[in-house]
Amino acid sequence: MKLMVKGVYRVALICKKEKLKDIAKKLIKEEVYEPKKVEKEYGGPYVDSSLIKGIGYENHIREALQKIGRKVNIAFKFDEMESIIIEVVEKIERLKKEGWKGKIDDVEMAKIWASLEYIEYLKLVKKVMDKDEKLDSFVLLEGWSDARGIEVLRGMLGKDIQVFEHIEDSRAPTKVENGNYWSVFDPLIELYPPFKYGTINISPIIGLSFLFIFGMMFANIVDGTIVFLITSVLFTRKKDKMYALGALMGLSSVAFGLVFEGCTLCGIQPFYPVFEEPIKFLVLVMGFAFIHQIIGNILGIANNLAIGERKDAAFRAMSVLIYVIAVGYVLGSEALMVGSGILALLLLLYSGLEKATEMPHILSHFISYARIFAIGISHYTIVSVVGGLLQTFLGNGVVFIGSLLFAHFIVIFIEGIIAFVHTLRLCILEFGTKAVVSGDASFTPIRFNKKHIEW
């Protein structure tokens, strides 16, 4: 596992269409590109406008066109595109002079103008291509790459290929590099806003939190086993990390199922039977919330300090002290409450009084964990009802097993999605806003482009 790596190069690769397959094979071998997408997207020259500075220019142009009542096809032809942009800009300017009060502001105008930069970029690509008369067709491959990736590409590309290198951008993207084991959490981490350069990679803690919370919400041996088996088979066949994560979620569900419900068939008594006494479960969940939020804030403090954001670190430290005050209240220790209170106030003053507006979130994020209790109870009750209904088939083995599987598949599909989404929410919002310091642009790995432009 490594800390954050900054991508510094933008690569545009041009080659003969016929050579694409060979290059694709090499890229796959080097794991620069995902195999499935190469096969799916292969077929002609492609350009993905959204990769250029991260803005979907075509969308802006399309919106502008709609506002002035001009209809266009979904795919622009390159030659048309430049004239369309100019036409749009000129028409809007003319309408404005005539007193038109349409909804196109200066920002949108700037975006439309910026589209011309995109056209210039494409022209540059075409100019390079035109140098070689034999190069009558080409494929554009672009994206960010780190220095290592550039070396890999250089080592395997032939003479017909050009590589553009753009030295470090002021907002060059960041990427998280996880080792073999922790990369199972990559599908989760990709949902987070990009981590700031120089901060600590907390993917393992996020991943483990995710499994823990999901397990509590979806605790059941049968459901967990089914999820584990299905996702394991799918992972073996498709090698998609999402399925590996699914298998771990299944295991977590089984583990918490054993702890909370036990296993009647195996003769295992529940270690902590929370569902019989819902309040006990609520207390457990809120205890977890307490610890989880403190861990999140401590990680956030470390991240803030790592990049020199002392005021933000002070605010997070103050959040921790709020929890210490709560401990003081429970223990009846006035000294702890007063001491922490004074320190918290000083930290708040240091971090800036405007931060006080964020204080209610300390409480609201803590209470928000109560959803684990509600979804956990809901899942348990539904499974119990299903179990009760299936008792009538107990005498007939085949029918019983068939009905059991069918019923659990439905429960997994509905309750599993609910538990999954709310676990994501807790990890991204309630925990993520404490532990993660985000803000940089996201890393777009080198890839074949999606949109087809005819020259």
Partner 1 sequence: MIESELLRILAAVLSIGIPGVGSAYAMQRIGELSESLLEKEEKGFFTNSLIFSVLAETPAIYGLLVGLIVLVSSGSFAEAQGIVAVLASIAVAIPGAAAAYAIGLVSQAALVAVKENRRLFGKSLIFAALPEAIAIYGLIVALLFLNGVGIIGTGTTPSIVNVEKVALATLVTALSGLVAIFIGRVAVSGIKSLAKDEGTFGQSLIIAVLPESIALYILITVLLILTNSGFI
- Cα-to-chain-centroid distance, residue 413: 22
**Read out DSSP for 376-392?**
HHHHHHHHHHHHHHHGG
Cβ proximity to partner 1, 138 vs 373, nearer residue? 373
Cβ proximity to partner 1, 355 vs 371, nearer residue? 371
In the numeric block, which tokens belong to residue 353? 């009084």
Least spacing, CB of residue 430 vs partner 1, in Å: 9
Contacts of 394 (CB under 8 A, 6+ apart): 400
Least spacing, CB of residue 414 vs partner 1, in Å: 6
Cβ proximity to partner 1, 232 vs 378, nearer residue? 378
Cβ proximity to partner 1, 26 vs 361, nearer residue? 361
Q: Give 45's DSSP letter.
A: -
Cβ proximity to partner 1, 193 vs 204, nearer residue? 193
Cβ proximity to partner 1, 232 vs 433, nearer residue? 433
**Read out DSSP for 194-254?**
PBPTTS---HHHHHHHHHHHHHHHT--HHHHHHHHHHHHHHHHHH--HHHHHHHHHHHHHH
Least spacing, CB of residue 427 vs partner 1, in Å: 10
Cβ proximity to partner 1, 155 vs 332, nearer residue? 332
Cβ proximity to partner 1, 23 vs 274, nearer residue? 274
The span from the CA of 31 to the CA of 36, in Å, is 12
Cβ proximity to partner 1, 22 vs 358, nearer residue? 358
In the numeric block, which tokens belong to residue 378? 């809901």
Least spacing, CB of residue 438 vs partner 1, in Å: 6
Least spacing, CB of residue 244 vs partner 1, in Å: 16
The span from the CA of 146 to the CA of 157, in Å, is 17
CB 300 within 8 A of CB 436: yes
SS3 percent helix, strand, coil of the chain, rounded to 5, is 65, 5, 25
| Torsion of Cα atoms, 257 then 258 then 259 then 263, to 10° | 110
H-run or E-run covering 9: strand 9-15
Whole-angstrom CA distances from 412 to 29, 343, 383, 416 are: 37, 47, 10, 5
- By residue count, the chain amounts to 455
Least spacing, CB of residue 342 vs partner 1, in Å: 25
Least spacing, CB of residue 421 vs partner 1, in Å: 4
Least spacing, CB of residue 274 vs partner 1, in Å: 10
In the numeric block, which tokens belong to residue 302? 């470390």
| Torsion of Cα atoms, 255 then 430 then 441 then 353, to 10° | -150
Cβ proximity to partner 1, 178 vs 368, nearer residue? 368
Widest distance between CA atoms in the chain: 84
Least spacing, CB of residue 385 vs partner 1, in Å: 6
**Read out DSSP for 42-66?**
-SS-B--GGGSTT--HHHHHHHHHH
SS3 298: helix
Q: Give strand pairing partners of 39.
A: none
Least spacing, CB of residue 370 vs partner 1, in Å: 5
Q: Give strand pairing partners of 448.
A: 141
Cβ proximity to partner 1, 343 vs 359, nearer residue? 359
Where does this chain bind partner 1 (CB under 8 A)? 54-56, 59, 190-194, 276-279, 360-361, 363-364, 367-368, 370-371, 373-375, 377-378, 381-382, 385, 388, 413-415, 417-418, 421-422, 424-425, 428-429, 433, 438, 441-442
Least spacing, CB of residue 151 vs partner 1, in Å: 28
